[in-house]
Amino acid sequence: MIADRFERRLVDAILYGSVLAILVFFYIPIITLVVFSFTESRFLTYPIESYSTKWYFELIADKDFLPALGNSALLAVTTCILATALGTAGAIAWIRLQFRFKRVFQIISFAPLLFPQLLLGVVMLLWFSVLGNWLEFSPSLWTAAIGHIIYITPFALVIVAVQVVGFDDTLEDAARDLGASDIEVLKEVTLPLLWPGIMSAAIFAFLLSWGNFYLTYSLSGTARTLPTYVFSGIAVGSSPIYPALATLTFVPSLLLVGFADFYRRKLAKRKTV
């Protein structure tokens, strides 16, 4: 009995210790960035002698910041909408439909995940260069959006597919028996029941696109987003303006994830009532 109790306590200590170590490993760099964003010094040195919020005002006053912010928002929203729509349609087809070459479709759907982002960006840049010479266009924010959609759609597909697997299709049959058309079944039954997965996929797609560097750097041409804005600035020299930017982008992302979890819990609670 004592040996069993000791074993359980040892396992609990290992599990809780592992969780604590992971949290420390992930959040110490983030906390460090937040702290350094309030330094008054021009250089990132420790210990910090005095604190100030001037770097946040310096960031907002930078003429390149707001255009980069707008480009990142446009790119992330476009990718979020299209990748989620394609991922949802692909998840329904992948799980529920039976057709020839379904296995080939599944393999092709996951193919972008097998490529490192840097390699995928270089390959797509070569492809767009050839196509651009033919159709007379150059890499821009829209070519970056295509690259993001190609890379992120499989993630959205997997997230929605998890929701589709647990979907009770007898509810659709019941709606059709009551006279609903296929469009009405899709709008009133299918999509509302899949909405938690769709919402999660949309948030995940937005965050993946928002912080993506490799594809954006390769495919955006002269257009700047926040990741490329940070990269071009750090190449010149470190500055507390970039920890300030990291703090400003981290907080909304954390709130977005928190909202997604709150919304998921709310829907789960509604289903149990």
**Tens-digit pLDDT profile for residues 101-145:** 777 777 777 777 777 888 888 888 888 888 878 877 788 888 999
Q: Say if residue 235's pLDDT is above 90.
A: no
pLDDT attached to residue 4:
64
pLDDT tens for 62-78 read 888 889 889 999 999 99
pLDDT attached to residue 270:
60
pLDDT attached to residue 245:
80
pLDDT band at 152 (very low <50, low <70, confident <90, very high): very high
Tell me what percent of the residues of the chain surpass a pLDDT of 70.
89
Q: What is the CATH number of domain 63-272?
A: 1.10.3720.10
The ranges assigned to domains in the chain are 63-272
pLDDT attached to residue 131:
82
Task: Annotate the chain with three-state secondary structure.
Answer: CHHHHHHHHHHHHHHHHHHHHHHHHHHHHHHHHHHHCCECCCCCCCCCCCECCHHHHHHHHCCCHHHHHHHHHHHHHHHHHHHHHHHHHHHHHHHHCCCCCHHHHHHHHHHHHHCCHHHHHHHHHHHHHHHHHHHCCCCCHHHHHHHHHHHHHHHHHHHHHHHHHCCCCHHHHHHHHCCCCHHHHHHHHHHHHHHHHHHHHHHHHHHHHHCCCHHHHHHCCCCCCHHHHHHHHHHHCCCCHHHHHHHHHHHHHHHHHHHHHHHHHHHHHHHHC
The model's pTM = 0.79
For the segment 167-182, the average pLDDT, to the nearest whole number, is 78
